Amino acid sequence: MTALTIRTALASDLPRLVEIYNHYVVRTPITFDIAPVSVDERRVWLEQFAETGRHRLWVAESTAGVVGYAGTHAFRSKQAYETTVETTIYCAPGAERQGVGRALYTVLFDALQSQDVRSFIAGITLPNQASIALHERFGFKLSGTMHAVGRKFGTYWDVGWYEKLRGPL
């Protein structure tokens, strides 16, 4: 892959982000959305991210355009969870296993160093060895597995919950 630029996501990126996401919606169990989402439906999702703070969204861009994105968003709505964020990461078809995820997570976690974040959570539909390897590379550890919690394509899927803790307990 050509050189990547990692930058904050813009509203103008939304059509491409939806295109990438919908690839996984219709072809994989990686997300439990069943039907493709529209740009208008996904606009509210994009609005949760900011240029500063705990909830960020970054895109990886090459000469081919946006080839992936990664971010953090609220884990749960109750205030006691405010220092816990859930991560999300997707690579465009054909951009997998080319360092896009690693580059995105490197920038994301570096940007959050100064933020009041204690825990990072990732829910990974199983099996997904590539995602597990990426998360473990960044210090995530399996905290538990929920069995048969999502039904897609006529099959029940497990979700592995991975966490990365920061700072003293």
The pLDDT tens digits of the residues spanning 15-27 come to: 999 999 999 999 9
> In sequence order, what DSSP letters do the residues of 73-85 get, joined into one string?
EES-SSGGGTTEE
The residue type found at 15 is P
The residue type found at 35 is A
pTM (two decimals): 0.94
Q: What is the mean pLDDT of the chain?
A: 95
Contacts 24+ apart (CB under 8 A), 146-151: 150/29, 150/32, 150/125
The CATH number given to 5-165 is 3.40.630.30
Q: Where are the domains of the chain?
A: 5-165
Mind listing the pLDDT tens digit for each residue in 40-83?
999 999 999 999 999 999 999 999 899 999 999 999 999 999 99
Q: What's residue 169's pLDDT?
A: 53
Residue 7 has pLDDT above 80, yes or no: yes
Which position has the token pair 């606009």? 43
Tokens linked to 66 = 């946006």
Mind listing the pLDDT tens digit for each residue in 100-136?
999 999 999 999 999 999 999 999 999 999 999 999 9
